[in-house]
Amino acid sequence: MRFILGFLFVFLSCSFATAADLNPTEKAIVSTVREEADDAMALLERVVNINSGTMNHEGVRQVGAIFRKEFDVIGFETRWIPMEEVNRSGHLFAERKGNQGRRLLLIGHLDTVFEKEFPFQPFTRKGKRATGQGVNDMKGGDVVALYALRALQKAGALENTNIIVAFIGDEEMSGDPVEISRRDLIDAAKRSDVALGFESAEGLNTGTIARRGVSSWMLKVTGKQAHSSGIFTKDSGFGAVFEASRILHAFYDELEGEQYLTFNPGVMVGGTEVTYDPEQNRGTAFGKTNVIVRSAIVEGDLRFISTEQREKARERMRKIATTGNLGGTSAEITFSDGYPSMAPTEGNMKLLSLLDRVSRDLGYPAVVPFDPGARGAADISWVSEMVDCLDGLGTMGNGGHTPEEDMDLESVPLLIERAAILIYRLTR
């Protein structure tokens, strides 16, 4: 992996030293992007001000309806694909059919991590930045994709192109089974040559040719319920919380530091009586200070760069959880597949080289690969074995998945220009 990224950095640094001028159509596209910059921000404010946490199905559908009207205006055939069978809101797909250039699949998502229970944070301008729920992850990216296509449409550059836009409604917490929730995305990839992901950009000088995969794990620990005065004795044992703590600390001791591998315990409940709902990521616990804990449940994620790395990590975690248990306790750990990884293929590298050329022709920085270890999982990974992929074409910001999430307002028109010219050249 390091060799591949290092080689590509040298390759891109030596290529395209002399930037070509934009052709008249490309100049018209850029002009339209700049003229519509305020409109793009108005639309972004509108959709950010609708809560669309994954499980807020009505909110996700509302955001989808807004984007659907926008795609209808520029000549796409649109459809809403319900996903009640996996307890999710559904997906928005928009399509143009033609036979010119490469067939493109543009991927975004309508949902955010901020469910209705979160204190609502509306779109707010703060100087050259804006804050709000999902402003950068990834309603900003959706707006970049839409306004890139709007600029192409106004320049007459969408005629006879083959483009599918897939705005997924449950990227932040995909419906189960994924064979259903990602069925339509995978079918679209089978009719495409290239997938472009509009997850957040890490700068004008980077693109994403590889992403780590993610899966989940659940640890269940059982101890002896007894009077707390007997804790640590042979008869009473250590209790479930101490054993869960031992296991988590051993995960850290034995797995931490491996390149591209991370593991995070996201929620933990422990007590005499516990309940946990993995669908809602919430649980309850009852216990008393004078009672040794009987049950503990921990759920977390595991991120990896390859299937091999994932399987090796799982085996080590199983061994830690089931051997060397503290007195009076037992534990089991189970794993569930989530998002696959996206490998840094030669085809992905070629797409990055094209993005690099586009960036230089626009007068922007050269583009190099972004470190996959610093990125989370994304829907583009589901199609990465079928088509060439490039991600990170959305907006730039900080604090994703936190109340401090924000985006850089000044960079948005530049990123729309970059995406629009990339799509134009791919579809010639």
In tens, the pLDDT along 360-374 reads: 999 999 999 999 988
- Amino acid 10: pLDDT: 41
Rg of the chain's alpha carbons, rounded to an integer?
Answer: 24
- Which pLDDT score, from 0 to 100, does residue 151 have? 98
Delineate the domains of the chain, giving CATH numbers in brackets: 2-211+342-426 (3.40.630.10), 214-339 (3.30.70.360)
Q: How much is the mean pLDDT over the chain?
A: 94
Tell me how far apart the alpha carbons of residues 299 and 281 are, in angstroms, rounded to a whole number.
Answer: 9
Q: What is the pLDDT of residues 223-271, one digit of tens each?
A: 999 999 999 999 999 999 999 999 999 999 999 999 999 999 999 999 9
Residues whose CB falls within 8 Å of the CB of residue 146, separated by 6 or more in sequence, listed in order: 43, 67, 70, 71
Cis peptide, bond prior to residue 24, ω within 30 of zero = no
pLDDT in tens, 215-236: 999 999 999 999 999 999 999 9
Q: What is the pLDDT of residue 376?
A: 73
For residue 1, name the pLDDT band (cuts at 50, 70, 90): very low
Beta strands 295-304 and 213-222: pairing type? antiparallel
The confidence band for 6, taking pLDDT boundaries of 50, 70 and 90, is very low
How many angstroms separate the CA atoms of 22 and 336, rounded? Answer: 48
Mean pLDDT of 19-45: 93
For residue 142, give Cα distances in angstroms to 8, 165, 391. Answer: 28, 10, 13
Residues 138 and 197 sit within 8 Å (Cβ to Cβ): no
Give the residue-averaged pLDDT of 176-194. Answer: 97
> Does residue 15 carry a pLDDT above 50?
no
Query: Where residue 130 falls among pLDDT bands split at 50, 70, 90?
Result: very high
Tell me the per-residue pLDDT of 131-169, one tens digit each, with 9 for 90 and over: 999 999 999 999 999 999 999 999 999 999 999 999 999
Tokens of 85: 């069978």
pLDDT score at 169: 98
pTM reported for the whole predicted model: 0.81
Residue 426 carries which DSSP code?
A: H
Angstrom distance (rounded) from CA 169 to CA 40: 21
CA distances from 197 to 106, 245, 302, 316 (A): 6, 38, 22, 33
The contacts of residue 426 (CB under 8 Å, 6+ apart) are 101, 102, 104, 194, 354
For the cut 90, the answer to whether the pLDDT of residue 53 exceeds it is yes
